Structure 1
Amino acid sequence: MPLSEQEQRCVAFACRYLNEHYGGHWSIQKNLDDLKLSEPTPEVIVGNGIMTAAVEVKRVVDFASRDYIAFLRNNERVLTPSCGGSYYLCPALGFSLPMSSSLQRLVKKEIERVAPTLSPGQKGAVRIPRQGHISLISSSVPPFITCLHGGPYSELMSSISERISGQFTLIDDGLEHSFITQECKDDFEEAVVAACNRSLEGDSGDFKWEEEWELVRTDKDDDSSHDGVWVLATTGAQSMQASVEQCVHAALDNAFRKFRKTPPWAEVQVIVLEASSMAPASLAASAVKTFQSQDKELINHFLIVEGEDVKELAPSWLLWSGKPRPNGNANRSIF
């Protein structure tokens, strides 16, 4: 497999770095992917006619962004109905990816039901089961019901208050309430009123109802866009530092397994990390410093590429490992 444009760029930066620190003119001698070996391999072997170096390239983003893209693509593929078409699915407020496998199966079944009824530009409602229970606060006060989501003056609950006796709280710790059709909203109100009446009689058990997520068909009759369902949601909030650290550690775990060959691929072994806007070099460098591996002495150089800048990060194990370093200066850390 030929190197991607990004890989070519990072290998060129690595060669420039090796030119400066080892001398000579470094260039690609062998693309290891082309050899189709059964064992994991770095990207390339480069050399200057005297020495060789094995180079592996990893582009890092923050872990949350990487996962987000993976979740979107998985849902796009899995949720696509057999009738085809391009759709947006709008979950209830508070929903975040990933979608559990059980919910994904349920949503897929609902999309299969609803999608064939939609023409391009039309909207439909995907039914989502919910459950909760009614807590009786007092039976001898003016009628009033609250919900954990809408606060004491929820518009959704105000119309229900006119149909009950006593004061109640709806306990449901799921997503915000979501109704697309009046029919589904009316069914919910009926279920809540019935649960309140049962609570007055001493029955405080759980009750069930259904809510709705909007499904919008976005393709046009003459549209050539590919089939898929795009879920309009984000992942849960996470610290950027922790997210970048997770991604860098995962990338390094994958990279290290490519350097375990005995004898080594080359006299010098190099990992190039390409930073991104979602994983800037400063955060990626901090993540490398906290990385732990039993194979840590396999790597001679960690390079971080950000834009046109190439900098070497010297992790702590390179500082005390006693590895020979060229020109006496490649051991320094610029972070």
Structure 2
Amino acid sequence: MDATPPLLQVEDLQTHFDLPQGVLRAVDGVSFTLSAGRTLGVVGESGSGKSVLARSIIGLLPADRTLTPGGRVVFDGRDLRQLGEAEMRQVRGRQIAMIFQDPLTSLNPVLTIGRQIEQVLRQHTDLSSKAAAERAVELLDEVGIPDPRQRAREYAHRMSGGMRQRVVIAIALACKPRLLIADEPTTALDVTVQAQILELLRRLQDAHQMAMVLITHNLGVVAEMCDDVAVMYAGRVVERGPVAAVLQRPRMRYTQALLESVPSMTAAPHARLPVIEGAPPDLVHPPAGCSFAPRCRHAVENCSAQRPPLTGAGEGRAFACWVPAPQFQEA
């Protein structure tokens, strides 16, 4: 048995925001592990806490409003929540990199693409200015940007969405990080460009043996790209496990509802697409029991009275549901 500890261990992570109307529990007791070279998909509706989870891992949250009542983020044996800001700046970009949702707002509009890559290299390596400029061109070529030397002298607004996303990936991979967090890396891109970006990420991950946390709404992307999946709802992980097992045999009713809402090629013509009725709960005043109970057609009395724990189910799986879906069902 491999005794190598995981690269990333998130243990009972809690991130709350102090708002005028009360404390918002954006991440409320999330735990998972991730080994080198593997990909964890994090899925759920908007507002489920996915992006806050990502920013909590690398410490990119407003200090004046953020409460951290508990939890640990252990990366390569070090608890990142115990590091000061100066130490975290050495971790971000060099050992852990992040791709944000909107590449246009992630890039500096007054600096050339090449200069932005050079800044990362100069910050985290001992490359000279000339060597960093050459390495920036090499990185643009590596992510598939044509005529990279010319593109390095251009600004972000002159590029298409797909090209900007490639630039953001080049910046993220400039220092060969051990962990890449990709937050909706294909948002607002057409299907063809999405496929190209995902294939690029897969190729670069294999080349650099990175671990990756892939945040997405798209269950098809999870099935194609990920080894394991964590389903989030109302700030908590409500189901996790190997991708094939979770997507083919979901146990938590929220996971089941997400899968049922995916369009099917075999559905009858003009068939109504199933939807999850209602809206996610108010995280300032969450319900006493299961947060999904008000929207769940399988809910029973206990679902509204008591919050279900995340319970192990074998095969590396766990789920939180009082009325779980049958263990064996057609894929």
User: Shorter-chain TM-score: what band?
Assistant: under 0.3
Larger radius of gyration: 1
TM-score normalized by structure 1? 0.21
